[in-house]
Structure 1
Amino acid sequence: MPTTGRPLRKLGFLTIGLFDGDDPARGHESTLQVIELGERLGFDSAWVRHRHLQYGISSPVAVLAAASQRTRRIELGTAVIPLGWENPLRLAEDLATVDILSGGRLNPGVSVGPPMHWEEVREALYPDTGDAEDFGYRRVERLLDGVRGKPVTDFSGVEGFEVFSDRVQPQSPGLGGRMWYGGGSTRSARWAGEHGMNFLTSSVVRAEDPDGPWDFDEIQLSHIRAFRAAHPDGEAARVSQGLVVVPTDSATPAQRAKYEAYAAKRLARTTSPQGPARLLFAPDLVGTSREIAERLAQNPAFREVDEVAFALPFAFDHEDYVQILTDMATRLGPALGREPTA
């Protein structure tokens, strides 16, 4: 068994929830079945992504509300909700409601920045207020205030037969401590730590040094350490790593070939920063659970965490996800020193 810096405490997975535009119900049902399978296999958490104006989950909170009624134990997370598309007060209400319905299992992850393709969507999204919208960290602070029970208005009391609160309702105890920030830069890592959030680090980081060298693992490690240095809990602050991991132990030859071709097609983007944002991507990990565990044991960022939310690749079939998740839970998890939850 490979030796890692911290024993793996929580094993999770992330799915994008793709669907066919002509039959969206089938894709959403597949996502819910995958989450149910994750619970049966003993995963600690299941996370969903967002895809606005695409053929993926556009309303992760609604999907997790449904998942909360089909599961009993597994934690449910968003990785991540881009707050540029959201009203923080309304989102705080939705998150608290789903957390109540789930029995306190929700782990909302968020990020900031203008909506993707801002110039194309601003007229539909903010036709009257686009120039005034603040897409920075203040938007997260407004969400945190609502979730953590700070007053959001100076009005409260009884008006006729109606009772009004100055806080977001419902209030869900503990949800404020389960808020995550998805960051890929040193600045975002520090900000999340300073504001007492948990930190999601994925297979994408920013190559902030224009001169290099660009080592994904070392950059990610620096973000984890910057986050914990700024967090009140220090080394105990929660960090989850979300690499793309594809175990092949029980895969058919055809599935192995598909997985290897997928990873090979995406490999070129890992060699240098991509686009104006200078994004650097981690290579996908494809192989047997033993091979993947050995590679992760050499990963300095992985050695700093005890929680993971391994990302499922895009555009695979339902049967592929069943095989990948089964191998993750029954073979990769134990190879990393973690046994499935009963």
Structure 2
Amino acid sequence: MKKSWQIFWHSFFWISMIAFFMFIAHNNSKLKTIDLFVTFVGYGAINISLFYLNYLIYIPNYLDKKQYGKYILYVLLAVIGIGFLKYGVGWIFHEYILTGRNGKTINFASYYISALFTSIIFILLSLLLHFTVDWFLNERIQRDLENQRLTAELALLKSQINPHFLFNSLNSIYSLAYQRADNTPDAILKLSEIMRYMLYECNDNKVDLAKELQYLQNFIDLQKIRFGENCYVDFDVDGIISKQRIVPLLLISFIENAFKHGVANDPSSPIQLKITVDDGSLQFYMHNKKHLHNRDTVGGIGLVNVKRRLKLLYPGQYHLNITDTEYTYTCELSLVL
């Protein structure tokens, strides 16, 4: 908040409070206007000055710097001095301030103790405001730091996807080139389309679901080029996918895993991929037969990555169930779009 707005709201608060108490006192007592003015405006100005003396000078210069002895000393001196100041004002306006309802003059001790009590209340109010503002500022700083940390972590996770995917795809194309396969140029072209999507379409937090599904289809087509006629994949999409959005590159790791560790050349047990979109939610199902001799010695970067991204980007909005047996691998993901 800008300083000018802070001054405005602080002034508005104090003026409103003084006007409110003057109105209450006017309706519930026989005090004259001059009595009300001196009591609430004059003494109010003194109390408010003490409030800001503590809030703007003593707290930041002594309390925040942990100079507790100096802070207590200066506060005590201020409270004592303000007590004498209030009595001086009362003496000047003794007809309105120091004269009780019975016509007797209020003695110094009684009046001074009352003045000290009021001053201490305003000191405590300024402390309360200071600690409240500090708490909110610290909370906002912590949220900002946490958001920055999560943003940096997500950027790192996303940056790991491209090299991981490119590494696997280039291995596949290398295999085609080594075999001098005729469809090697088609594979390179398909990889180019995939990389264009990853580089230029995935910069936003979410992308159109239709584009993401087309990206998955391109990846599957690339794998079919790699395996040739002996690639068996059932990929079905049900539901209305228009106007739906999803975090980009979220499902690809599961599909990569199916081709990398699964059996894609068995017509009796094809890789099964099914995506159902209904009422703002997405159901993803994947099942594949495992290739017992195709073990990943490097590590499962992709799946660890996607699990972490789900936790960060869809907290409390997803359910992931993975069944990993000796012969099959099944993944079921329910996601609120």
**Where on the TM-score scale, by shorter chain, does this alignment land: which range?**
under 0.3
Q: Please report the TM-score for the alignment, with normalisation by the length of structure 2.
A: 0.21
Structure ranking higher in helix proportion? 2
Structure ranking higher in strand proportion? 1
Structure of larger gyration radius: 2
Q: Please report the TM-score for the alignment, with normalisation by the length of structure 1.
A: 0.20
Larger relative contact order (Cα-Cα within 8 Å, sequence gap ≥ 6): 1
